[in-house]
Amino acid sequence: MFTGIIADRGTIQAVSTAADTVFEIATALDLTDLAPGGSIACAGVCLSAIEKGDGWFAVQVSAETRARSTAGAWRIGTQVNLERALRLGDELGGHIVLGHVDAMAELVSRRPDGDSLRLGFEVPRGCEASIAPKGSVALDGVSLTVNEVEGRRFGVNIIPVTRAETTLGDLQSGDKVNLELDVIARYVARLLAREPA
């Protein structure tokens, strides 16, 4: 479990492909207590560390994960938002984020809004029922508040610190991000969609 508060921007520094793909990610995170199999959210995808070294860790990514997230497009030099798994007693600064990507959202608009950056995204059909104004979403692992929703499109504001500390400020129109719907909204939408017994 995660909070959507990004601790570092990591960089893919090596890629090896066999049955699964292994990404080696450079980071400034403290990995001292990271055990094999420990969870790290990489661009919002909960992945298990399989190896670590001085200033890097490696994760193994299945074909399913590559197909359903932006991990399919990661290359050497790609930057990814990183967050270590939540520990009992840690501050829950964002919202409950599981690291289970629901879909990829596409950036359709980008404009300044005061000191902030207003980003507009379009989601695949079926996701819109779980997105509500003033509700939460995670985009590439970043916990954000939804400003407005219209059909399959929604907008968020990126404040200067979020723009500087995450990859969201680098996005350009047409770029895709990993979308995780709020877990509570996801289950409410599922319950409301069920046919009465």
pLDDT in tens, 115-142: 999 999 999 998 998 999 999 999 999 9
Query: Are the C-beta atoms of residues 114 and 126 closer than 8 Å to each other?
Result: no
SS3 call for 17: strand
- Provide the pLDDT for residue 1: 87
- Provide the pLDDT for residue 96: 85
Q: What is the DSSP letter of 97?
A: B
d(CA 27, CA 56): 5
Residue segments in the chain with a per-residue pLDDT below the cut of 50: 197
Provide the token pair at 21.
């793909």
Provide the token pair at 151.
């059909």
Nearest to 137 by CA among 91, 194, 177, 110: 177
Which residue carries 């990183």 as its tokens?
82
Domains 8-84 and 103-193 alike in fold: yes
Radius of gyration of the chain (CA): 17
Domain boundaries, the chain: 8-84, 103-193
Q: What is the domain class of 103-193 according to CATH?
A: mainly beta
Provide the token pair at 4.
């959507």
Q: What is the domain class of 8-84 according to CATH?
A: mainly beta
- Provide the pLDDT for residue 87: 79
